[in-house]
Amino acid sequence: MILAFLRHCGFRFCGLLFYPMIGWRAVGAGVLAVVAMSGPSMAQQAASGSVTAPATVTFTLDFPQSNPEHYSIAVDASGHATYECTGTIAEDSEEQDYRSEFEVSAGNRERIFSLAKQAGYFAGQIDSGNGKLAFTGAKRLSYQNGQRSSAARYNYSNQAAVQQLTALFQNMAGTLEYGRRLTYFHRYQKLALDEELKRMETQARNNELSEIQGVAPVLQEIFDDTSVMNVVRARAKELLQMGNSGGAGR
């Protein structure tokens, strides 16, 4: 009678041990659910652990008493670039941090990583060591990926690959500095836009700027703004076309 009553309540008899059928089924289901949930998570963790960050080349310049006094440009293997600087717009204004992200042209992306390879990924000394040369800013080139991390500082280098990288990054910085100033002038001082765009146009035609498409958003905003003088909008449009055609993208 007792056994019959226990079976009626959902218990099974195994040797001398009684246990509830429903309870063990719930525990078993819970274990299976945990395994099912943890399986994808563990797989994702394993996958994420095997993913390495893209290779990145970074150029940094620190030049006291210049504007900006500090800037850096980082370009990864996919062509995504980040520009960061600390500088002022007006002489009496306070220094501010500025950041911009853009996509580098395929040609310059390949050129940057090719030159970095030629320079030994900056693993050794790249400075000329000539202390008689004029100081043109404390420069730093670095290369980093999942397996390698190396960097070198210099004022001037005799290595052709480093010289070409320096010129390329400085031309890119010149373009992005125009973007920083144009953003400010468009917001607070529209009458200054004409002179700024005129200088930018001249430098672009002289191949002193690179990656004009990197400042396309602010150029487009100026062109679309009907409250800006037509001559200014025309200059912005011309620079946009130069950026789209790669005319100053080298």
In a domain, 250, yes or no: no
Query: In which band, very low, low, confident or very high, does the pLDDT at 26 lie, cut at 50, 70 and 90?
Result: very low
Query: Are 89 and 149 in the same domain?
Result: yes
pLDDT tens digits, 119-153: 999 999 999 999 999 999 999 999 999 888 999 99
- Cβ atoms 156, 130 nearer than 8 A: yes
Tokens of 52: 């390495």
Place of tokens 């990864």: 76
Query: Are 140 and 226 in the same domain?
Result: yes
Query: Are 15 and 75 in the same domain?
Result: no
Short-list 206, 184, 207, 205, CA closest to 196:
184
Residue 221 has pLDDT above 90, yes or no: yes
pLDDT tens digits, 43-59: 444 444 556 789 999 99
- Domain extent for 69: 56-245
As a whole number of angstroms, the distance between CA 218 and CA 160 comes to 34
- Cβ atoms 105, 211 nearer than 8 A: yes
The pTM of the full predicted model, rounded to 2 decimals, is 0.78
Residue 22 has pLDDT above 70, yes or no: no
Range of lowest pLDDT (52-61, 92-101, 170-179): 92-101
Query: Are 18 and 62 in the same domain?
Result: no
Query: Are 160 and 187 in the same domain?
Result: yes
